[in-house]
Structure 1
């Protein structure tokens, strides 16, 4: 299971990384990016099974990244994405889901919530 964690906060990337390790993902099986631009470059070089992205980031935000991932011609079009963000309003959730997000987690969250939202992607 290869996971891409996209968040401009190194602390948040570390927290998410710790939780995915608790789910059995080895440290070498997830990568980190600090914004959508870096994430998109990484996606051109490597295939991921799940993408976890923040919404509010500089350069390219998470919503723009998801739209790019879901665009025609993208080889990552079917890759599951989970938005992890402070944007918890109903309209934001609807906007993200319409853009193609598979699941949505509002910060702050606990490890159990993240595990529950990621669990479906670990069942093959």
Structure 2
């Protein structure tokens, strides 16, 4: 069974850019699921098999930090790894994300090489 990824970002354009960067980095996923915010992401995680989540931090309805907090409270999905992809990669916000289970962060804008460097070892 191949790998599935969930891209969580309120910008559909950014979700497409991230998906393209994954392909350009040579990271092949069977399915790329998308969500516009943390609420949609939780719904996808409830209904689909996802191997890793790439999530923005600043989003309406439920931001990336609230998403991590809620995901951690749900046993069926709490062990799915999350990598933050955001313009906000300061030590305070990333420290909070890591304390809630995020594995790390990629700063926007990014290159396919950076995606491969950070994401490759996690797969």
* TM-score using structure 1 length: 0.89
Do 2:27 and 2:116's aligned partners in 1 also have CA atoms closer than 8 Å?
no
Do 1:70 and 1:100's aligned partners in 2 also have CA atoms closer than 8 Å?
yes
How much is the aligned-residue C-alpha RMSD, in angstroms?
1.3
Stretches of structure 2 lacking an aligned partner (at least 5 in a row): none
* Cα distance between partner residues in 2 of 1:25 and 1:57: 26
* Cα distance between partner residues in 1 of 2:107 and 2:68: 17
Task: Tell me the residue number matched to 1:58.
Answer: 60
How much has 1:89 moved relative to structure 2? Answer: 1.5
* Cα distance between partner residues in 2 of 1:74 and 1:47: 14
* Cα distance between partner residues in 2 of 1:6 and 1:82: 10
Task: Tell me the residue number matched to 2:28.
Answer: 25
Is 1:92 matched with 2:109? no
> Secondary structure, in 3 states, of the residue corresponding to 1:105?
strand
How much has 1:121 moved relative to structure 2? Answer: 2.3
Task: Tell me the residue number matched to 2:5.
Answer: 3
Task: Tell me the residue number matched to 1:49.
Answer: 51
Do 1:68 and 1:74's aligned partners in 2 also have CA atoms closer than 8 Å?
no
Task: Tell me the residue number matched to 2:82.
Answer: 81
* Cα distance between partner residues in 2 of 1:48 and 1:114: 18
Task: Tell me the residue number matched to 2:107.
Answer: 106
> Secondary structure, in 3 states, of the residue corresponding to 1:103?
strand
Aligned residues: 120
After the TM superposition, list the runs of 4 or more consecutive aligned residues in structure 1 that deviate by more than 3 angstroms.
Answer: none
Task: Rate the CA distance shift 1:98–1:117 in 2: closer, same or farther, 3 A.
Answer: same
